[in-house]
Amino acid sequence: MLDKIMKTQLFAWIDKRTGAEAIIKSQLTEYPAPKNLNYMWNFGSLALLVLVLQILTGIFLVMYYKPSAEATFGGFTVAFDSVERIMRDVNFGWLIRYMHAVGASMFFVVVYMHIGRGLYYGSFKSPRELLWIIGVVILLIMQGAAFFGYLLPWGQMSFWGATVITNLFGAIPVLGEYIGQLLVGGFAVGDPTLNRFFSLHYLFPLLLAAIVGGHIHALHVVHSNNPEGIDLHKPEEQIPFHPYYTIKDAFGVAFFLLFYCYIVFFNPQMGGYFIEVDNYVPANNLQTPAHIAPVWYLTPWYTILRSFESKLLGVAAMGASLAILFVLPFLCRSAVRSARYRPVYKIMVIMFFVDVIVLGYCGHSAPTATLKVVGQIATAYYFLFFVALPFLPKFEKTKPLPEGI
Ligand code: HEM
């Protein structure tokens, strides 16, 4: 189909003025990709798809949503009511809202798989350090966008989640309280907070779109890693992106859409994991919910925060747990990339994946003495994984790498 479009007179006219044909050929149709990429390499294109879906559904939601915490005659607030109106009165409003709310969680599912793939196959290592660093920036912006978005329905969890997190700034010495007040727009979460968060929630995905452009550009300069983690030297080790990976990505998209549609149509709450039940209760600043927890994709970091008695230490550890991702490419000194050829790293990285799930579980659950200790051990391993990386090459005996693929 693309071939047919590229043969039209209109395309020839555009090409003469933009060089579009050369760009499409070098960046898409004839872009060389390793011939052995497995399905773990589908998550990049899926992340792109979900980003587009989030922006599109978000644009429609904004047409009806009202960012105001003022009370209505019914005793609720304008924001809460506008979300209920979207669900009940707007044509297909329920669909657009569920696509967006489920899409937020699916975005993190896909991006966490994408990051996990990068960790397992050593895609963060030279020459892809900058590509990885841009990825970490993307992750932080995604987390910010999700956090800001969660306040918008102005439910109990929206309100108290934002209160807990914005209060954390107070722990930062000197400037902390000032930053907190600037973000909240006062001394407590209220109408100005909702307006600020709404504005940032709109801005962040657009920022994401621009940064993802940079991410893909950086990828196309250094090219994809592959499951063997080796550099490719022979032309026969590569295949053109189109039709081989366009069709493989399309298969991944179809598979993903099956899951996504199932959840959107049949189970949008996902047992309270994707949309918390407490958030169907309107925000009440006089009634603290029994258990406040962020949505599942933020709970690993919430556990790290809660693992320390001192608020300042907790905030510092949570910041460090994200910041350490930036320096990962420089911590890992082994010459071998893929975990397939690194027996010790393979065990460590699989344990790391389990560890993050444990951290997530602890953060989601109501705190108990046992879970607190489990969370503290999991937090310790989270950091140990990164701290141990520079020393690993000293005692890890890597397996011999293949000559080619
Ligand atoms: C909106 C979110 C993101 C989008 C749309 C996106 C998109 C992509 C795409 C299309 C690719 C090429 C296909 C593939 O390798 O899967 C890619 C590769 C890559 N991405 Fe992302 N990405 C996102 C987030 C991230 C994050 C959060 C990280 C890391 C923290 C990251 C790190 C990487 C790395 C290291 C590669 C190269 C993988 C390899 O060649 O093995 N990306 N990304």
Q: What is the pLDDT of residues 107-120, one digit of tens each?
A: 999 999 999 999 99
Residue closest by Cα to atom 10 of ligand 1: 44
User: Do the beta carbons of residue 338 and residue 227 sit within 8 Å?
Assistant: yes
Check whether 47 has a pLDDT greater than 90: yes
Q: Which residues line ligand 1 (CB under 6 A)?
A: 41, 43-45, 47-48, 51, 111, 114-115, 118, 121, 123-124, 128, 131-132, 135-136, 138-139, 208, 212, 215-216, 219, 224-225
Tell me the mean pLDDT in the region 145-160.
Answer: 96
CA gap 305, 168 in Å, rounded: 10
Confidence of residue 2 (pLDDT cuts 50, 70, 90): confident
- The whole-number pLDDT of residue 236 equals 94
What domains can be seen in the chain, in order of their start residue? 24-395 (1.20.810.10)
Tell me the mean pLDDT in the region 268-297.
Answer: 91
Residue closest by Cα to atom 17 of ligand 1: 44
Ligand 1 midpoint to CA 219 (Å)? 8
Residue closest by Cα to atom 2 of ligand 1: 47
- The whole-number pLDDT of residue 355 equals 98
Which residue in the block uniquely carries the two structure tokens 């080619």?
404
Token readout for 225 is 């890693």
**Is 100 part of any known ligand binding site?**
yes
246 Rama class: left (phi>0) / alpha (psi -120 to 50) / beta: alpha
Number of Cβ within a 10 Å radius of residue 54:
23
Looking at the CA of residue 142, tell me the nearest atom of ligand 1. Answer: 1
Ligand 1 midpoint to CA 185 (Å)? 35
Check whether 3 has a pLDDT greater than 90: no
Confidence of residue 200 (pLDDT cuts 50, 70, 90): very high
**Nearest-10 Cα torsion for 57, 63, 65, 71:** 180
Token readout for 377 is 């051990």
- The whole-number pLDDT of residue 363 equals 96
Check whether 291 has a pLDDT greater than 90: no
Ligand 1 midpoint to CA 82 (Å)? 36
**Is 364 part of any known ligand binding site?**
no
Ligand 1 midpoint to CA 114 (Å)? 6
**Is 114 part of any known ligand binding site?**
yes
Residue closest by Cα to atom 18 of ligand 1: 44
CA gap 405, 391 in Å, rounded: 29
Residue closest by Cα to atom 41 of ligand 1: 225
Residue to mutate, 28, 54, 55, 114, ligand 1, most ligand atoms under 8 Å from C-beta? 114
Looking at the CA of residue 226, tell me the nearest atom of ligand 1. Answer: 41
Looking at the CA of residue 222, tell me the nearest atom of ligand 1. Answer: 40
Tell me the mean pLDDT in the region 182-197.
Answer: 96
Give residue-wise pLDDT tens across range 101-148. Answer: 999 999 999 999 999 999 999 999 999 999 999 999 999 999 999 999
How many residues appear in the chain? 405
Give residue-wise pLDDT tens across range 228-279. Answer: 999 998 999 999 999 999 999 999 999 999 999 999 999 999 998 998 888 8
**Is 217 part of any known ligand binding site?**
no
Confidence of residue 1 (pLDDT cuts 50, 70, 90): confident
Ligand 1 midpoint to CA 148 (Å)? 23
Ligand 1 midpoint to CA 128 (Å)? 11
Tell me the mean pLDDT in the region 384-398.
Answer: 96
Query: Which residues does residue 240 pair with via DSSP β-bridges, in sequence order?
Result: 32
Check whether 405 has a pLDDT greater than 90: no
Q: What is the mean pLDDT of the chain?
A: 96
CA gap 95, 97 in Å, rounded: 5
Residue to mutate, 39, 140, 206, 215, ligand 1, most ligand atoms under 8 Å from C-beta? 215
Which residue in the block uniquely carries the two structure tokens 């490419």?
329
Q: Is 123 exposed, middle or buried (0-12, 13-18, 19+ CB in 10 A)?
A: buried
Least confident of 55-59, 69-73, 102-106, 240-244: 69-73
Ligand 1 midpoint to CA 113 (Å)? 10
Maximum alpha-carbon separation in the chain: 73
Residue to mutate, 126, 208, 219, ligand 1, most ligand atoms under 8 Å from C-beta? 219
Looking at the CA of residue 48, tell me the nearest atom of ligand 1. Answer: 5
